[in-house]
Each structure stands twice: as structure tokens, then as C-alpha cells.
Structure 1
Amino acid sequence: IDESKAILRAFHNAFPNASVWASADQEWIMMGIKGPGRKVKEEEIRQLWSDPDSGADLRRIGIEVPEQLGALFLMDGEEIDRITHGVAPLTDIYPKRLTDEPWDDEANHRFALRYLEAPSTFERFLRSSLVNAIWPETLNRSLESFFILRQSRYLSEMIGSNKLAELDLYLRHSRLRMPVLEVLGSDGLRLAIAERVAKKSQTPPLETMPDLIAGALARRDIDGAIRLLESEKDRGVFSLNDTFLLTYLYCLNGSVEKAEALAATNGGSITKDSFVDWLWEKLEKDFGFHLPR
């Protein structure tokens, strides 16, 4: 961590108006602005998404709406000053301020989480003099939810998560595609390949089905995802996780009776554990689902 701070200190020395940004991982980007910067209008930012070329590039890397750009924020120069106080900068004269010591994953995670936790980072964003100088306040209205989403994705990748709970969060409280694909183990490239392969066959090959299901849900095509899962079931390739997902989607789509029937049919293969308890309780609370006795 001290080595990272030495790099930050050196960068901030070169760029007084420095900041650090990241998506839901530990691949952080340092950015420096020459001069004070200028206030950018919301229309200018939205043009990046309306332009066919830049819009496609941004969506491909998972930045689907302008608000997500702001929610990449981690820290500004004032915070860099605070955490690097007393830290000698990395320079050409002192290159061995970077050592050969093994990386401490646990310490790195603790440090990263401090800046990926949504409430504190969002507050830091709002208080930042840099942000207030360059970012349009009109984009702040729903911004906090995107900080929460980034934290959720980071924790999911680092320590694991209840994938169905995470999927429920994205489907019901967001219109973003990429988090849905990611939580289901897919991505834009995998989906594009699966769709291309599926078009060549009357019945999609089984190996494409997980990505096609993820793609349907990313589009919020709940009916389409249900049809794909039912097709898997009819073809005799239907895992327990597929059962849970289809049960949830039936409820989400208003077909609670189908969900109850599916759960009853597969009751013998469902082992009671904390996840199953959570799922039945959630489906009952949110949709009126009742597990058949």
C-alpha cells in the first residue's frame, strides 16, 4: 500500500489537479488536469453516448449511461494529499521505493474497499472541489445508486455474493445491461458469440444457452429468458440453479402459480439451506409465493 501511495504522491506532484477513478475492481486510473479545468455541461457529456462510435465504445466497456461516468470517482487531490502525507514520492532517483515484496491482497482489499464503499465515496464526490468545478450538478439526482451498484459488483467479485439477490437488485432497480451479464457469468463478447452461433441453428446449442439467457435478462426480456429456461428443462438439461432462477423469474413475471408448481415438482432435489430459506422468504414477501406443503 505504501508503494501505491508513493506512486500517487509522485503523480500528484506532477499534476496538482489530480484524481483517481475506477470501475468495480482494483484497476485504478490516475488522471491529471492541466490548469483548473472547466465546468462541463450535461449536454456535452450526453453527446458521448449519442455519438455512434464513442457511445458504442462506452457501452462495450460497461459505462452505459452518463451517470456511471461520475460514479467511477474514488478520490481527488485533497484526498491524495491526506493519505500520502509524509510518503516519499516515487522518482527516477529513488526507483527502489517500489520493492520486490509480495503483494498483500488482504491489505489491498481493505484499502480499496475504503474508496469503493458507496456512502462515503458518494459524499466525497459531492464535497470534492474538483468535482464541483467540472461536473454538472444536474447529473447528481440519481448518482448515488450507481455508486451502490459499483460497490455491489466489487464485493461480489472479491468475496462472493448471493447471485440471485444481486440479479434481483439489477433487474428491479436498474436498467443497466452489463451488471446482469456479469452476475450470470457472461459478458458482451460471450453473448455476441452465442447469438451468432445460435442464429445458425434452429435450436440453440446447449452451450450457448447460459449466455442467451443472460442476454435476454440484460434486455429485460423476462418472457424470452423463461422460454429459454423452459427449453433447457424440456431438453433434460436443467440444473438446480436453473430451477431457482426459473422459479424467481416466474414470480417476477406474475406467474406465481407456475413458480409454486415448479418448486413442488423439484422439491425432492432441493436441500434446505440458508440460500433456499432466503429465496422462499423473499418470494413470499415480494410476490406472495407459498411453498407447497
Structure 2
Amino acid sequence: LEVVWFRFLLLFVKGSSLAFPVMLGVVLAGIALGGLAASLLMRLMPTAPRFAATLAFVAAVATVASYAYFPRVIEPFGLTSVTQPDAIVRISLPLMLPVSFVSGMFFPIVGVALRREFRSEIQTAGVLTLVNTIGEAIGSLAAGFVMLPLAGIERTVFTIAIVYGGIGALLMWRPVKGRPTAIGYAAGLASVIALAMFPFGELNDRLVSIPVERFAEGEPERRLIAVREGLTETIVFFQRMLLGKPVSDVMLTNSFSMSTTGYGVRRYQKLYVWWPVAVHPELKHALLIGYGVGNTAKALTDTASIESIDLVDLSRDILAMAPVVFPNEGDQPLLDPRMHVHIEDGRYFLQTSNQQFDLITGEPPPPGIAGVENLYSREYFQLMRDRLADGGLVTYWLPLADLSDVSTKAILRAFCDVFDDCSIWNGSGTNLMIVGSRGTHAVVSDRQFRAQWSTPAVAAEMKRLGVERPEQLGALFIGDASFVRALVDNAEPLTDDRPKLIEAPFSSPTAGSDLLASIADTGAARTRFQTSPLIARLWPSALLSSSVPYFDVQHVIDAHMYGSLLRQSLALEDVHRILTGSTVDMPVLWRLASNSDIQRVVSSATPDEQMNPLLQYHLAIRLLSERSYRQAADAFERATASPQVRDNAFVLYIYSLCMSGQRAKAQQTSREAFAASGVSSLPPLWIWMKETFGIDPSRR
């Protein structure tokens, strides 16, 4: 039963290396207390073995009751993920302690009853322990490998309750001592009633929604679309929605958001492929460790020049959910003939394979989940390097938001200990990319570097994810090995025998912000880019100088991606800088709280649906990004009818009027609105409008 309990609790508890011993401790404490209670009971009541059937029935009732009561147990925790030991104990006790306690009583009581069947206490204890151990082994295997994948958590709990009730019925039919007791019949009746009242549907109707709501908090619309209780995890998919239309898919495994098709995650996970394809002239064989929702796999299969792709993932069930994200078989990465799937551990595959790869990349789970530290250690990075062909590349995730400064530096030190030319690159905000290689390869030509932007399907996705021009790839640069080693200084590397470094606390209250300031300084990164030996080796000379201005674009992208973590300038000021100083579109959408996922909803809407003021707002943002200022002004004016975006839409309406040459109308409209508002002084945004366009709404 503990196998089922642990799987169930992982929907609410972060599966860290601390959580499992705490939960196991509750089970063992219940068994120990039950055994102690049974020994005391048998001293006071030598006929206690007569109640063995009663205990089995009570265990059945407790199994049902503890599961039925659990929603009340978890309710006080709201949408928070349970991580602290005391909180784990608080939700584990009501679920697991009652049945564990009864089971602890049942074992010695049955042992006393069996004593009369054997010649000695030693023989009795040996036989009982043997049977119990065999039962535990078979039960764990049956629950984990048969019942949970086939029947799911809820039906498995119900089945176990039936087994307890069946044992009670058997002991009533063949009592271990004396005649069946009246209390035994009453307990049997109670177990039948409990089984009849089992709360089927509780899991999907109420409990699965808790992790969904946690990760969809703040989203006005979301929809649960798929649940799969697999061999190693419970997988949940939900969709973020806009006006009833899907925007993106999110995959949860147990209580954790593992991946999403949202534009931010898609961006950095596809950069794991786009970056090496741009700089490696002969990238033919790729290895992907971890599938997620298929973002990186899709980038690989969209790259026609790659000849073979090996995918390694522990979970057959996650791969079986691929059609949720890719309902069209022609789009599914797993059905690409170049794809070779291996259901096994990534480290084991690296240790046992003799293949060589031009690219090794991966989508590891976030740090903090039990065992994930082994996917960030120096030994693991060494295994990756050993499987690289000469000149091969590794691209890997560095999730800054999930790490302290100590753990970040430990991972970087481990990576740079293995890869002499280690470097660090922007992805999406705190989701950074680290890169290393095994030796050198030929420098790509300017034409080869730009080839992806000439491939329609790839170029369209690059545009959607804000990598609209080849020059922007260089502007993702943060620093090469000299920068990373200076950043790391004398930090200890994360190794297999020092796994706790990945959970190390911050070294000081300001250490996190200091580290972020070093990494997010695009001005300093631009200087490092221009002087980096790594860039001189990898980048075509024609792109070296042309990439430099795009660090200003990257600065605006960072302002969006990092959000409140960085000191912000006015969003409209950033937008104006992009519109007047570059030809790119996507940063405009991002700084104004739109994106390509939302724009897909706008484009797919019918003409009548598009007249919705909220869709008009997002349509206007797209028109603005395309420099269609007059049309944008018309759409922003219609969008002011939406209470959700009225204030922003009005400001952008005035801005679009100015950009379309209608400053007189902008002045009059803003003055009328300012007079009606009763505000006495200009907010910073309007001061900027006055300085930039001469628009002064306070002027009479």
C-alpha cells in the first residue's frame, strides 16, 4: 500500500530526497506503534488473536476512510507545493498512519495465533516473517508494475481495501482462535458499507485539479485535457486558454510542471538545436536525453540535415502522451524515421553505448527532485563528452531560478572542469544554456550559418520565438570560459559524491541578485562577444560586427523574460526603441504582454470573434509590431471597450496616433481623457510621451 500512497502524495509533495524518508518514516512509525499496542493488548487480553478478523476489517475501513478524508487534509495548504518536513508529516499522518497502525497490530496478533501450529516460537516467527516478506515483495511489484499502470491510484486503493476485507472474511470463516466475535461481524458490515461508499472520481474531480490550479494560478482560463497514471509517474496535461481557444499545453508529472509548449519554454529548448546547427558544419548524429513535451525533439526533426536522432527517456508513458501535443501524425517527432527511441536511464545509455554524436542535448527535470543532481554532476558531463564525436557539441539547461548562487556555480564548475571551452548563453530569462565541445571543427561559412533562416518551417518558428535574424543568435552570448571561470572563482564542483550542493542555500542575502546582475548585463556581454576567442573561432567574420547592435534588442527581450527580477525601463520606451531602431517584431509583442501563441488564437478567430475587444487589443499589438501604425490605432481604439486592457489600450492608441502622423488628434484625445480623469500631475509614462512626441494631456 505504501507504493500507492507515495505515488498519490507526490501529486502534492515535491519529490525531493527528503520527502521519501519522511513519508516512509510515517509508515514505519505506524507499524511500530501498532506492534507495541498489540503486545500490550495481548498482555491484558490473552484472547486478543480472536480479533484478527476484526483488525483486517478495520484496515479495510481505514483504507477507504483515510482516502475519502484526504481532500480535507490537503485543503489548508491551498495551491502550495508541500516541501517542508513538518508539512509532509501533517498530510502523511491522516492518510497512512491509521492503516499502518492496524497493520502493525495485525502482524504480531496473527503470529500469536499461529504459534499453536508450530513447534517453537522461532519457527513461528520465521514462517510469519517469510510469508510477510514474500507478500510485501509481491504486493509492491503488483502495485507498482500492474495495478497502478492498469487501474490507477483510485482503483488500486479500492482493490487493497477489498483485499483487507477478503482477509477479514477468510478469518471469520476460519477463525485463528475460538469462534467469530460479534464485533467481527460488525466490523465486517462496516467494511462492506465503506467499500460501497468509496469516493470514486475524487482523484480526477477534485485532487488532480490542485497541481493544475497551482501552475495555472493567475490564468483566467485553463482546461484539463489528459491524465495518465503510468509506471513511474502520474502525468497530467492541461491547456492554457484565451476566450475558449487553446494557447499552450502544460505537462505536469506528479506535482511538478515538467514542460510546456508555451513560447518561453519552447524558445530555450529549441535553441539547444538551432545554436549548434548554426555553428557546426557537419552535424549529422544527435542524442536527446529526455523528451518532455517534444520541443527539442521537434527542433531536431525539423532540421533536415540531421541524419539520425537517438532519444533516451525513462518514461514510456510520457512518450505515449505525445499525441496530446502533436495530434497530427505528420507533426509527431517520435514518428520521424530518423528517430530511434531508447526507454532507459540517460546515464546508463551513455555508459553502455559506443556511439559517437555530433550533438548531445537534453531536457532534464528541474533540480530539487530526487535523483536529478546526477544529471548535473561532473561525472555526468564527462559521460556526455566521452560520447561526442570530434568537434561535437553539448547544449544543456541551466535553470537559474531553481538554483542558489552556490549551486549555480557548482554546476558551472563541474561543466567547465569537463569542457575547456565552456560558455553560457541566454535562453528565456533565467533559463540559460551552457555549451561545451570536444575539440574544434571547421568554421562554418556565412551561408551555412544563415541556412536555417532560409528553411521556411524552421524560420517561421524562429520568428515566433524571437530569433528572427541570424545576428540575434550572437546576441544571446553571455560569456565564454574566461568569464564563467571568473564567475565561478573557487567554487566546489557538483559531483556524484557531493549531490547536496545542488540544494545549497544562497551564500548571502544579496548573492542571487549579484549573480543575476553579472549574467544579465548585456552591455558587458557585448564587449565580451567582440573580444572572445570562442566567438572568433565559431562565428563567420561577416556576422561578427553585424551581430553587435542586436545586443540592444536582447536587452529588451531580457526586460520581458526576466520581468521584475531586473530594473525596468518603461515598456513603451523599449517598444519605441525596437520599432525605430530595428526591423524585428517579436520583442514588441512580448513587451506589450502578447506573444505568438496568443496571436495564433487571433489569426484563427472568425471575423465576428475578432471584434472582441480583447482580441482587438492583441491584433493591434501585432499591427504595431508590423509598423502598421494607422491600422493599429484603429484596433487599439476598439480595444478600449475591454475593461481588462482599457488603460493600456488607450495609451497605445495615443502612441499609434503619434507614430502614424496624427499628433493633433493624439493631443486632443489625451487632453480630453486627462481632464475627465481628475489627475493633477503627469505620470512617468505621459512625461515620456511629452518628451518624445510633444503630447501634453495636461495642457489646456
* Moved segments of 4+, more than 4 Å: 102-106, 235-238, 289-292
Q: Which of residues 639, 658, 680 in structure 2 aligns to 1:251?
A: 658
Does the C-alpha gap of structure 1 residues 225 and 41 become closer, same or farther in structure 2, counting only changes over 3 Å?
A: same
Following superposition, the deviation at residue 105 of structure 1 comes to 8.6
Following superposition, the deviation at residue 200 of structure 1 comes to 4.3
Counterpart of 1:126 in structure 2 is 530
Q: Which of residues 22, 31, 34 in structure 1 aligns to 2:438?
A: 34
Following superposition, the deviation at residue 65 of structure 1 comes to 0.4
Q: Which of residues 271, 278, 291 in structure 1 aligns to 2:688?
A: 278
Following superposition, the deviation at residue 64 of structure 1 comes to 0.7
Q: Which of residues 240, 248, 258 in structure 1 aligns to 2:647?
A: 240
Q: Secondary structure at the match of 1:28?
A: strand
Q: Which deviates the most, 264-273 or 165-174? A: 264-273
For each residue in 1:1-32, what CA deviation from the matched residue of structure 2 results, as whole angstroms up to 9, or x when unmatched? 12211111111122222111114511111111
Counterpart of 1:44 in structure 2 is 448
Counterpart of 1:227 in structure 2 is 634
Q: Secondary structure at the match of 1:281?
A: helix
Instruction: State whether residues 6 and 88 of structure 1, in contact with CA within 8 Å, keep that contact through their aligned partners in structure 2.
Output: yes
Q: In percent, how many aligned pairs have the same letter?
A: 25
CA distance in 2, matches of 1:241, 1:37: 50
Q: 2:670 corresponds to which letter in structure 1?
A: A
Instruction: State whether residues 406 and 507 of structure 2, in contact with CA within 8 Å, keep that contact through their aligned partners in structure 1.
Output: no
Does the C-alpha gap of structure 1 residues 82 and 153 become closer, same or farther in structure 2, counting only changes over 3 Å?
A: same
Q: Which deviates the most, 248-257 or 269-278? A: 269-278
Instruction: State whether residues 171 and 180 of structure 1, in contact with CA within 8 Å, keep that contact through their aligned partners in structure 2.
Output: yes
Q: Which of residues 70, 89, 106 in structure 1 aligns to 2:493?
A: 89
Following superposition, the deviation at residue 188 of structure 1 comes to 0.2
Does the C-alpha gap of structure 1 residues 168 and 244 become closer, same or farther in structure 2, counting only changes over 3 Å?
A: same
Does the C-alpha gap of structure 1 residues 270 and 152 become closer, same or farther in structure 2, counting only changes over 3 Å?
A: farther
Alignment RMSD? 2.4
CA distance in 2, matches of 1:242, 1:9: 47
Q: Secondary structure at the match of 2:435?
A: strand
Does the C-alpha gap of structure 1 residues 119 and 161 become closer, same or farther in structure 2, counting only changes over 3 Å?
A: closer
CA distance in 2, matches of 1:63, 1:190: 18
For each residue in 1:172-210, what CA deviation from the matched residue of structure 2 results, as whole angstroms up to 9, or x when unmatched? 11221111111111100011102212x341761122122
Q: Which of residues 591, 598, 613 in structure 2 aligns to 1:183?
A: 591
Does the C-alpha gap of structure 1 residues 236 and 186 become closer, same or farther in structure 2, counting only changes over 3 Å?
A: closer
1:199-218 alignment to 2 at 5 Å?
A: 199-201=606-608, 204-218=611-625
Following superposition, the deviation at residue 125 of structure 1 comes to 0.9
Instruction: State whether residues 610 and 616 of structure 2, in contact with CA within 8 Å, keep that contact through their aligned partners in structure 1.
Output: no
Following superposition, the deviation at residue 277 of structure 1 comes to 2.3
Q: Which of residues 450, 473, 479 in structure 2 aligns to 1:75?
A: 479
Q: Secondary structure at the match of 1:140?
A: helix
Counterpart of 1:108 in structure 2 is 512
CA distance in 2, matches of 1:152, 1:132: 25
Q: Which deviates the most, 102-111 or 264-273? A: 102-111
Following superposition, the deviation at residue 254 of structure 1 comes to 1.1
Q: 1:241 corresponds to which letter in structure 2?
A: N
CA distance in 2, matches of 1:126, 1:32: 19
1:12-23 alignment to 2 at 5 Å?
A: 12-23=416-427
Instruction: State whether residues 240 and 270 of structure 1, in contact with CA within 8 Å, keep that contact through their aligned partners in structure 2.
Output: no
Following superposition, the deviation at residue 145 of structure 1 comes to 2.5
Counterpart of 2:415 in structure 1 is 11
Stretches of structure 2 lacking an aligned partner (at least 5 in a row): 1-404
Stretches of structure 1 lacking an aligned partner (at least 5 in a row): none
Instruction: State whether residues 15 and 34 of structure 1, in contact with CA within 8 Å, keep that contact through their aligned partners in structure 2.
Output: yes
Instruction: State whether residues 18 and 33 of structure 1, in contact with CA within 8 Å, keep that contact through their aligned partners in structure 2.
Output: yes
Q: TM-score, normalised by structure 2?
A: 0.39
Larger radius of gyration: 2
Does the C-alpha gap of structure 1 residues 101 and 189 become closer, same or farther in structure 2, counting only changes over 3 Å?
A: same
Instruction: State whether residues 623 and 632 of structure 2, in contact with CA within 8 Å, keep that contact through their aligned partners in structure 1.
Output: yes
CA distance in 1, matches of 2:465, 2:666: 35
Q: Secondary structure at the match of 2:463?
A: helix
Instruction: State whether residues 39 and 136 of structure 1, in contact with CA within 8 Å, keep that contact through their aligned partners in structure 2.
Output: yes
1:151-162 alignment to 2 at 5 Å?
A: 151-156=555-560, 157-158=563-564, 159-162=567-570
Q: TM-score, normalised by structure 1?
A: 0.88
Following superposition, the deviation at residue 168 of structure 1 comes to 0.9
Q: 2:455 corresponds to which letter in structure 1?
A: D
CA distance in 2, matches of 1:178, 1:109: 27
Following superposition, the deviation at residue 170 of structure 1 comes to 1.4
Instruction: State whether residues 617 and 649 of structure 2, in contact with CA within 8 Å, keep that contact through their aligned partners in structure 1.
Output: no
For each residue in 1:44-81, what CA deviation from the matched residue of structure 2 results, as whole angstroms up to 9, or x when unmatched? 12111111232123222211100010011111112222
Instruction: State whether residues 24 and 150 of structure 1, in contact with CA within 8 Å, keep that contact through their aligned partners in structure 2.
Output: no
Does the C-alpha gap of structure 1 residues 208 and 86 become closer, same or farther in structure 2, counting only changes over 3 Å?
A: same
Q: Secondary structure at the match of 2:555?
A: helix
Q: Which of residues 160, 177, 192 in structure 1 aligns to 2:600?
A: 192
Q: How many residues align?
A: 287
Q: Secondary structure at the match of 2:608?
A: coil
For each residue in 1:225-264, what CA deviation from the matched residue of structure 2 results, as whole angstroms up to 9, or x when unmatched? 112123345x586833333222221111111111122122
- Asked which structure has the greater RCO (Cα within 8 Å, sep 6+), the reply is 1
Following superposition, the deviation at residue 270 of structure 1 comes to 6.5
Instruction: State whether residues 24 and 151 of structure 1, in contact with CA within 8 Å, keep that contact through their aligned partners in structure 2.
Output: no
Q: Secondary structure at the match of 2:636?
A: helix
Q: Does 1:148 align with 2:552?
A: yes
